[in-house]
Amino acid sequence: MERSVLIDELRRLPLHQTSVVRVLSVLDDPNRGAADVAAAVSPDAGLCARLLRFANSAYFAASGRVGSVEGAVVTLGSSVVRALAISAAAGLLGDSSNVPDRFWAHSGSVAIGAALVSRQAGVSPADALSAGLLHDLGAAIAYRHDASVYGVVAPAGEYDVLAAERERFGADHCELAAVALEAWNIPPSLVDAVRLHHAPIDAVEAPLGRAVVAGEALVRVTLGDEGFVAAEPCDDPEGALAAVGIDDAGVAQLASRLDEQGGEFGAMMAAA
């Protein structure tokens, strides 16, 4: 595929999803509150149901049952609502054949990993969680154009998915996601975090980007690689964790929470 074909399509994507564009613009308006977000979401029954399900999940439901969409928006916070709205609008939810093998298991784990290292990286857990959920969005978008790029079985390190994506699509999944997110008018800090998620951590200055790189590194050293993830590069994950001040003892402390919460969160996204 010519680079321009896929990228042009990504730029046009928002035009087909006016209700989501409205939700995203309300989320970005500091003068609008949870009631306004709930009102913008309300025409989209599927998104309402997802927000309620997530707000009542074990991860978020700290204080009892959430019965209204407005309550769900308050419980989840705007960055998580944004990540779920984008995931739904990009067609990543509801049909596992739309995403690469173990996509949500991986993205759910990286989301929890980023949230677990967020304090050390200097961002809020909710912002880190949301960036982790969306970090491989580009791979899911490209997968729908040509799944064969993601089905290659090769020993670890012998298949470079980023190079294969550049050859096939003219851009790797980091850049493809950044183009799509820019077209959605997503906050630049989130776009940059997704664009730079395979860069060495020393090349990433913004706290949100460092949280995603370190979160993915935590997933690598504790859970390993499977599915499309095995083809994703992750050089020196221990170094990435050390760069945000997490040593071996810190990794050991976070590992069990990552295993438990990451698995639960990935399963919830896969079933959403």
Stretch binding Fe ion (CB under 5 A), from 20-28, 94-102, 225-233, 246-254: 225-233
Stretch binding Fe ion (CB under 5 A), from 18-26, 60-68, 89-97, 130-138: 130-138
Beta carbons of 245 and 232 less than 8 angstroms apart: no
CA–CA distance, 30 with 26 (Å, rounded to integer)? 8
Stretch binding Fe ion (CB under 5 A), from 17-25, 85-93, 134-142, 254-262: 134-142
Q: What residues contact 145, with CB distance under 8 A and at least 6 apart?
A: 1, 6, 169
Q: What residues contact 214, with CB distance under 8 A and at least 6 apart?
A: 113, 114, 117, 120, 121, 201, 240, 241, 243, 244, 246
Interface with Fe ion, residue 165, by CB under 5 A:
no
Mask for 88-127, x = binds Fe ion (CB under 5 A): ----------------------------------------
Stretch binding Fe ion (CB under 5 A), from 53-61, 121-129, 141-149, 231-239: 231-239
Q: Which of 135, 116, 143 is nearest to 192 (CA)?
A: 135
CA–CA distance, 157 with 171 (Å, rounded to integer)? 20
Q: Smallest distance, Å, CB 162 to Fe ion?
A: 8
Residue of 44, 127, 136, 172 interacting with Fe ion (CB under 5 A): 136
Q: What residues contact 73, with CB distance under 8 A and at least 6 apart?
A: 34, 37, 38, 41, 51, 81
Q: Which lies closer to Fe ion via its Cβ, residue 36 or residue 238?
A: 238
Q: Using CB under 5 A as the criterion, which residues of the chain lie in contact with Fe ion when the complex forms?
A: 136, 232
